[in-house]
Structure 1
Amino acid sequence: MKTQPRVLAVLIGALFVTPVWAEQAPVKSTEVGTISIVGEGDRLGNGQMVQEDSPKARSSVTRAKIDKERSTASPYQLIDLLPGVNTTDIDGTGTSGGTLSIRGFNSDQLGFTVNGAPVNDSGSFAVYPQEYVDSENLCEVFVTQGSTDTNAPHVGATGGNVGLVSCGPLDTRRLRLSQTVGQREMSKTFVRFDTGRFFDDRAALFISGSKTGVDKWRGYGSARRDHVDAGGELKIGQGSKLSFSLLYNDMLNNNYAYVTQAQYNKTGRYTDFSNVWTKNPTPVAGTAQAGKYDSAYYNLALNPFRNLLLTTKGEFALSSTLKMNVEPYYWYGYGTGGTQENTLKESGFLDRTTGKTNAGKDLNGDGDKLDTLLVYRGSLTETRRPGATLSFAWQPLDNHHVLAGVWGERANHRQTAPATTIGADGQSNDPWLKNGLITRPDGSLYQNRDWQTYTKVIQPFVQDSIDLMGDKLNVQFGVRYADVKRDFTNYANEGSYQFRDYSVSKSWTETLPSFGARYMITPKLQTFVNVAKNFRVPGNYSYGSLLDKSGNLLAAPDLKAETSINTDLGMRYHGEMLSVSGSVYNIDFKDRLAKAYLPDVALSMDYNVGKVKTRGLELEAGTAPFAGFSFYGSYSYTRAEIQDDMPVKAADGTATTISTAGKLMPNTPKNMFGASIQYAKGAFYATLKGKYSAGVYSTLANDEQVGGYTSWDFATGYRLPDMMAFKNPTLRLNVSNLFNKEFLFLNAGSGSAITTNATGLNAQSPNYYIGAPRFTSLSFSVDL
């Protein structure tokens, strides 16, 4: 449908020339963080804009937008129309994750917070959006494109920040019940109870729970998720209060297979894991049997994961001009993922006395140690991550605001790869890899990976904000100093060339200044400029393959942290009926990390490989309702150009390069359009939204690409009259990918692991996910 991008462009263009209608009466505002959401948020851009006043590029979606999305929507789906945001969802429902990049930076190069606490993986900085929240409890999702905030708790963010803010407890008692059903046996049951104010109106609590399930749209299997959220606050008098939020998530998903272009062209849209379990061969004494598979069995490609996040906050008014905030948090995560069907040789166990993988054990009971068996083996991760931010807000003068503090954390990141047996029915002994695990002949656990990483961070910060010229001009100066230390240990294991203990200790320090200014040209028109330095330390996986095939310990790569300097120049117009925001930006990104294969030692290692220069334009506009109609539109232009060739090695170990200088960064659409139109009158609303993403390159050498596509979603709802004790009974219908568009999108889990080249020296084929087809669901909610 080649005309679809033009349709979106015309719609967005119309927004930017929409006249300003007559003023309407002011509406009530509520505060979320430091921004103001007008009314219920529906008053501007269908809940996808707020009246932003910060001196940097920033976009938000509010409760009004979130409330109209499917109840299972992930944070990625909620921000899909915001400028600079390139996001896709694996299954259309939000239950299986997806991909995200902003201004050409991958999700593991972006900071991600939930109620102020960092939730990126502490080792790799990966993001798993399906794990964090129930959308029914979200009040805001914001994006700071290009720059993190001065007090942001990140050491892995070169490309900006995404923040999730939960709704706090209500002032009045309420029980909300919600049920969603849909295609593919989809079901989500959600219950939330708010106590209302008690204890002399000083305290309030809420707790919610949900149970979700949906079948995969291709292949076999399903996604299952149980989730609990809770929160509360206690006012302790004289402007001070305590609050907390808690989330717990338990999920077990069958994964979707990714494909190469060649596989997709051969087998089509519904390509996935096999539904046939090949079984292990019948044991025969004295004969070597070998279990083999052509394609992994679907029920041995799982994503079981449990995580908990507790955030607390104490706000203390020390004087009329000085406030102190104490914000401790604790993150716990446990689980595995990927494809767990693997082979294990009975003769390949680690002998810890000799340091060789030549010990034998009879696994199938046939009396010999000659066989190779299919086992369930996963890359298991367990993380314990306490941290805290202490900050002081001081106002020495009426126009002078100082924020100073320190953030610190100590992450304990344990990564192993144990194995367990598989039954004749293709079911593993324990998909969580806790019980019935395979042991070595000496009784210790078999491990195909055995890593321990401690990451310690201390990051003091200070920011000075000054209002001048009768508050027309606001100037902000900020600086943070990051001190990061990683202690990595590889314990001898059965993994490829991993049969020796070794340890690596690395430290990075970086001074990260920022400057921002906002000037009010008129009460409705403002301009802003922002310059900020960001950085990202190397992931712990950079030190996980340092033994060659002879057991020699290679020198740990002396990796620099990635850094970027982001400069924004923008303008905003906030009228009664129309708001428009736009910015042009430049990003100088250097010491980019990438992975290169070393054929002489048969290892892949990370390297700092050069610079990327990114320039772009972002626009967004939203209207207040007029005659029942309201609009939102965004446009993004991004050109991210690689500045250096990629160093590689030939099969004989000779150093050479692959031509990447002047090429565009993969998975970075040059043009994106997004738009939504909503009609709402009384108890009824209907929304149509569309997103066009231009084609992208899939490799650093730009020798493979996928085409652009446009996808449309539709939502409608109706609030029924109250009936006795039943209040706000509401029906909602959601349809995603309305016209059943078929497309591929790049599996770009890590910015440093993007494929270098698809043809030529050391070529590899990029992997893709297949866009989900049309999906329809219906929700009903009621308050008691």
Structure 2
Amino acid sequence: MFSRMALLCGTTALMVSLLPDAQAKEARHTSGRSAGQTAQDNAAHQRSAESSAPSMLGATAPTDERIEVTGHTYGDGVTRRAFGGGLMTPSDSPKSVSAVTRDFIAKQNPALNPMQLIALLPGANVADTDSLGLTGGNLSVRGLTESQMGFTLEGFPINDIGNFAVYPQQIADSENLKTVRLAQGSADLDSPHISSSGGVVDMYMIDPKNKMGGMVDMTYGSFNATRGFLRFDTGRIADTNLRAYFSYSQAREDHWRGPGWENKKHGEMKIVNDWGEGNRISLAVVGNNIQNNAYPNVSKASWDKWGTGFKNPVGSSGLSATDPDNTVYDANYYVPSKAGSINYYKTRPNPFTNIFSSMPSTFKLNDHLVLTETPYFWYGYGNGGGGRYADMSKFVWGKQTLAGTVDGVGKGMQMLYNPSLTETYRPGATTKLTLTTGINRLMIGYWFEYAKQRQTAPWSLLGADGTPLNQWGDSNNVILSNGDKAQYRNTLTMTQVHTPFIGDSLALMHGKLTIDAGLKYAIVKRSGTNYLPDVRNKYVSTNYNQALPTAAVRYKLNEHNQVFVSVATNFRMPQNYALYDAGSFNQKTGVYSTLANPDQKAEISISEEAGWRYQDNLISTSITYFHYNFTNRLYTQSIQDELTGSFYSTNINAGGMHSDGFDAEFGTRPIHNIRPYVSVEYLHAVTDSNLPAGSGAGADYVRSKGKKAPQAPDWQVGLGLDYDDGKRFANFNLKYVARQYATFMNDQSIPGYVRMNIGVGYRFPKVSIFKSPVLRLNLQNISDNRYLNWVQSPQANAKTTTGVFGNTISGSVPTYKIASPFAALATISSDF
């Protein structure tokens, strides 16, 4: 019966699965071997990798990796053999897949987060704001931002379940990262995501070592940056295969512009036990705590006027508390003369605590049947702060005006703290069975998750010096005269996910031709309660049911050449804040500043790819053509009330978009100890619809149809050059990103830029217990290029324009992030 099912699935046109890339072994370290012996080793390796059947969809879980890196490595995991200095891996996937490995990761600034590590890969438009990556970052791939992509670590999802944001500084220490893999086009069948209308980023941690030992490194650099890392490996415990490691790191740096600092404490552990042939249980736990202050986003006008700061500050910014041209926060606290926002940096903290855990495990039930199970749990608690000067006797609470007090503080004007606080509980599991019968493999699986997210924005008191009495905002709160706690938002959201999936892979012509078919069906229910007064919908419930078929074919022309074609359907649910009225209540209009739209539809994408790869013992190259078609694009619309002139926002579906382009990458194994790497992307992303603007009698559409999409640079080029002779190593990285539009009308943009980094290092002989001391220096943004690198808030139009129906549509101001400047960071490290 299983064989008949497998054959049926393999020949059904609507049910297709995508093959993840089969991880190829690195060739053994060849020091002291002849060229002929090296070539024989490499050829044997290549034949071994190619004879292994390509793994089915399911590389999201690390237990699915069929071929492990073997042979000699240095203490930091470097093999000196990876293509392009660790920026390419051999692949047999029938879709575009790129990856970075230990050969690249171990030579970079060790504080870099996973987003920064993949910046050179095709299509990866990465933006950061500090040299250690502690303030996070942003990513767009083929014009799709990180909230449109799925991110997994050890098989579990790490996107925020509510707004699908990714906070890369939380994820993992680079010393424990084995591989970061970017699939630019689509998610896999078993990818546990409800937000991946674009591709996915899968991250895998290294395994504990078989022998007791560990690793230590220390970093010091620009802006008083300090970081320390320590890992202890237990080795095999007693006579078992059970082994584990435990690591801890701490990093701190001062802000490079304006006042403020970041302080991160981070712990990780991984426990592994394997037995028999193909049985494995692992447990990964990541704990993270960051205390920091935010950098302000800037407008184009303020950037053009002030750049990165002020030459002759008054206070610190030289501006009033409400001046929109502020590009740094104030270093000194003062009370404004009238109600308004304040820009004191201590009212802008961004503290959060996270715990991730995952237990990806594989059980070989018999010679043909394998069970893979990945239960996980995600907990997060944190906020982003802000301040407001408010009248304690006139709090607007829905349709009422109430007085508020904080621990006996009197009425009148008071400076208050107003963070946006989120607490998330997110358990889930992905289960799948894979049946292999001859030339056919059938996979059946199920992903389940039940998430709870509590989101509040309580008002609380600042101390006399402007410091929040509690930076978390969960105490010393304003209590209104009716007994309620004053809130800017106050919601509880429950998200249930049920996603069965089935995939089949058929290998023909002695494995030269592989045909895959698959389907997953996402069933998502969101229900929520809004605890604010006088909202239009106190209780909301939405259901999203979406069939997601995929298809792929890969054909090996010969030992070195292969071609592939794939098509996939992906989707992204609306963010949870689309369900609720929130913000400030306008008693004249009777509505909140953010209006719910529980009827918003899911964003749907259909991606198509066709590609060619050439891989031999020296060269690896690939080129992929892609086409996307999007419908129901999720969009936040700003509307001005025609009677009062006040603004409010709501979430809508804004029509379609399509894009075409190609990705290419090239890398080699060592040529006289040098390994070059080049990546190129051309992208033509176009908006297919006119966006709505205005309301009431002034409702209209901006003429955005046919314009280029925001956050979608036409060209990107990455260059990596790695030299490593076993003792000395050096690397040079360059990334060019072309102009990026900030509006759908293409009336404001940021220019293209070039960023260059250099790293040099030396490996010393063993010293006492330190087996492999390494000293390295990493120089980031070596030209000290000052530029805007990210469009934080795209708008429909920045300048006043005439709509389709002839109405005048005022412009809205996009905001941007400023790239981190030159930084030098020295690191000493060793295993022991």
Once residues 304 and 487 of structure 1 are traced to their aligned partners in structure 2, the CA distance between those partners, rounded to angstroms, is 28
Q: Quick one: which amino acid aligns to residue 559 of structure 1?
A: Q
The alignment status of 1:191 with 2:230, answered yes or no, reads yes
Identify the match of residue 134 of structure 2 among 95, 119, 134: 95
Task: Indicate the residue corresponding to 1:625 in structure 2.
Answer: 670
Q: 2:708 aligns to what SS in structure 1?
A: coil
The alignment status of 1:307 with 2:348, answered yes or no, reads no
Range that drifts further, 600-609 or 526-535: 600-609
Structure 2, gaps ≥5 residues long:
1-34, 50-61, 72-78, 310-326, 801-808
Range that drifts further, 478-487 or 29-38: 29-38
- Residues 1:444 and 1:42: Cα distance change in structure 2 (over 3 Å): farther
Task: Indicate the residue corresponding to 1:536 in structure 2.
Answer: 572
Per-residue Cα deviation, 1:658-708 (whole angstroms, up to 9, x for no partner): 010010111111011111111111211000110111111111111101110
Q: Quick one: which amino acid aligns to residue 615 of structure 1?
A: D
Identify the match of residue 78 of structure 1 among 110, 117, 127: 117
TM-score (norm 2): 0.86
- Residues 1:240 and 1:34: Cα distance change in structure 2 (over 3 Å): closer
Task: Indicate the residue corresponding to 2:65 in structure 1.
Answer: 33
Shift of 1:569: 0.3
Task: Indicate the residue corresponding to 1:273 in structure 2.
Answer: 329
Once residues 96 and 84 of structure 1 are traced to their aligned partners in structure 2, the CA distance between those partners, rounded to angstroms, is 22
% identity of equivalent residues: 35
Task: Indicate the residue corresponding to 1:766 in structure 2.
Answer: 814
Task: Indicate the residue corresponding to 1:8 in structure 2.
Answer: none
Once residues 266 and 126 of structure 2 are traced to their aligned partners in structure 1, the CA distance between those partners, rounded to angstroms, is 24
- Residues 1:606 and 1:681: Cα distance change in structure 2 (over 3 Å): same
Identify the match of residue 706 of structure 2 among 640, 657, 662: 662
- Residues 1:36 and 1:700: Cα distance change in structure 2 (over 3 Å): farther
The alignment status of 1:235 with 2:274, answered yes or no, reads yes
Identify the match of residue 573 of structure 1 among 606, 611, 614: 614
Once residues 768 and 530 of structure 1 are traced to their aligned partners in structure 2, the CA distance between those partners, rounded to angstroms, is 35
The alignment status of 1:409 with 2:449, answered yes or no, reads yes
Matched residues, number: 739
Per-residue Cα deviation, 1:66-90 (whole angstroms, up to 9, x for no partner): 1011011011111001001111111
Per-residue Cα deviation, 1:398-434 (whole angstroms, up to 9, x for no partner): 2211111100101101110012211122211011223
Instruction: Determine if contact 2:694/2:700 at 8 Å carries over to the other structure.
Output: yes
Once residues 780 and 697 of structure 1 are traced to their aligned partners in structure 2, the CA distance between those partners, rounded to angstroms, is 41
Range that drifts further, 759-768 or 376-385: 759-768
Q: 1:342 aligns to what SS in structure 2?
A: strand
Range that drifts further, 236-245 or 97-106: 236-245
Instruction: Determine if contact 2:399/2:590 at 8 Å carries over to the other structure.
Output: no
The residue correspondences of 1:280-299 to structure 2 (distance < 5 A) are 290=338, 292=340, 296-299=343-346
The residue correspondences of 1:645-684 to structure 2 (distance < 5 A) are 645-650=690-695, 653-684=697-728
Range that drifts further, 36-45 or 684-693: 36-45
Instruction: Determine if contact 2:406/2:460 at 8 Å carries over to the other structure.
Output: no
Range that drifts further, 520-529 or 272-281: 272-281
CA RMSD of aligned residues (A): 2.2
The residue correspondences of 1:349-428 to structure 2 (distance < 5 A) are 349=395, 356-363=399-406, 369=411, 371-395=412-436, 397-428=437-468
Identify the match of residue 725 of structure 1 among 760, 764, 769: 769
Once residues 552 and 670 of structure 1 are traced to their aligned partners in structure 2, the CA distance between those partners, rounded to angstroms, is 41
Shift of 1:558: 2.0
Once residues 503 and 365 of structure 1 are traced to their aligned partners in structure 2, the CA distance between those partners, rounded to angstroms, is 34
Task: Indicate the residue corresponding to 1:479 in structure 2.
Answer: 519
Shift of 1:41: 6.8
Identify the match of residue 488 of structure 1 among 503, 521, 528: 528
Per-residue Cα deviation, 1:291-317 (whole angstroms, up to 9, x for no partner): 655x51111111101000010123222
Once residues 280 and 438 of structure 1 are traced to their aligned partners in structure 2, the CA distance between those partners, rounded to angstroms, is 20
Task: Indicate the residue corresponding to 1:169 in structure 2.
Answer: 208
Q: Quick one: which amino acid aligns to residue 665 of structure 2?
A: E
Per-residue Cα deviation, 1:689-742 (whole angstroms, up to 9, x for no partner): 101111111111111011101111000111111022221011111001011112
Once residues 545 and 536 of structure 2 are traced to their aligned partners in structure 1, the CA distance between those partners, rounded to angstroms, is 30
Instruction: Determine if contact 1:628/1:679 at 8 Å carries over to the other structure.
Output: yes
The alignment status of 1:52 with 2:97, answered yes or no, reads no
Task: Indicate the residue corresponding to 2:491 in structure 1.
Answer: 451
Shift of 1:442: 4.3
Q: Quick one: which amino acid aligns to residue 359 of structure 1?
A: L
Instruction: Determine if contact 2:579/2:596 at 8 Å carries over to the other structure.
Output: no
Shift of 1:555: 7.8
Q: 1:26 aligns to what SS in structure 2?
A: helix
Once residues 79 and 25 of structure 1 are traced to their aligned partners in structure 2, the CA distance between those partners, rounded to angstroms, is 32
- Residues 1:343 and 1:35: Cα distance change in structure 2 (over 3 Å): farther
TM-score (norm 1): 0.91
Identify the match of residue 657 of structure 2 among 612, 625, 640: 612
Task: Indicate the residue corresponding to 1:326 in structure 2.
Answer: 373
Instruction: Determine if contact 1:99/1:747 at 8 Å carries over to the other structure.
Output: no
Task: Indicate the residue corresponding to 1:156 in structure 2.
Answer: 195
The residue correspondences of 1:245-260 to structure 2 (distance < 5 A) are 245-260=284-299
Instruction: Determine if contact 1:335/1:381 at 8 Å carries over to the other structure.
Output: yes
Q: Quick one: which amino acid aligns to residue 342 of structure 1?
A: R
Once residues 200 and 410 of structure 1 are traced to their aligned partners in structure 2, the CA distance between those partners, rounded to angstroms, is 39
- Residues 1:679 and 1:366: Cα distance change in structure 2 (over 3 Å): closer
Per-residue Cα deviation, 1:354-380 (whole angstroms, up to 9, x for no partner): x6431213559675x3x2321111000
Range that drifts further, 264-273 or 478-487: 264-273
Range that drifts further, 184-193 or 427-436: 427-436
Task: Indicate the residue corresponding to 2:392 in structure 1.
Answer: 346
Range that drifts further, 155-164 or 227-236: 227-236
Once residues 554 and 243 of structure 2 are traced to their aligned partners in structure 1, the CA distance between those partners, rounded to angstroms, is 37
Task: Indicate the residue corresponding to 2:262 in structure 1.
Answer: 223
Q: Quick one: which amino acid aligns to residue 344 of structure 2?
A: Y
Instruction: Determine if contact 1:636/1:672 at 8 Å carries over to the other structure.
Output: yes
Task: Indicate the residue corresponding to 1:522 in structure 2.
Answer: 558
Structure 1, gaps ≥5 residues long:
1-20, 282-289
Once residues 735 and 234 of structure 1 are traced to their aligned partners in structure 2, the CA distance between those partners, rounded to angstroms, is 40
Identify the match of residue 737 of structure 2 among 681, 693, 696: 693
- Residues 1:229 and 1:366: Cα distance change in structure 2 (over 3 Å): closer
Instruction: Determine if contact 2:297/2:817 at 8 Å carries over to the other structure.
Output: yes
Task: Indicate the residue corresponding to 1:438 in structure 2.
Answer: 478
Task: Indicate the residue corresponding to 1:635 in structure 2.
Answer: 680
Q: 1:303 aligns to what SS in structure 2?
A: coil
Once residues 99 and 276 of structure 1 are traced to their aligned partners in structure 2, the CA distance between those partners, rounded to angstroms, is 30
The residue correspondences of 1:582-593 to structure 2 (distance < 5 A) are 582-593=623-634
Instruction: Determine if contact 1:536/1:561 at 8 Å carries over to the other structure.
Output: yes
Once residues 405 and 611 of structure 2 are traced to their aligned partners in structure 1, the CA distance between those partners, rounded to angstroms, is 68
Q: 1:265 aligns to what SS in structure 2?
A: helix
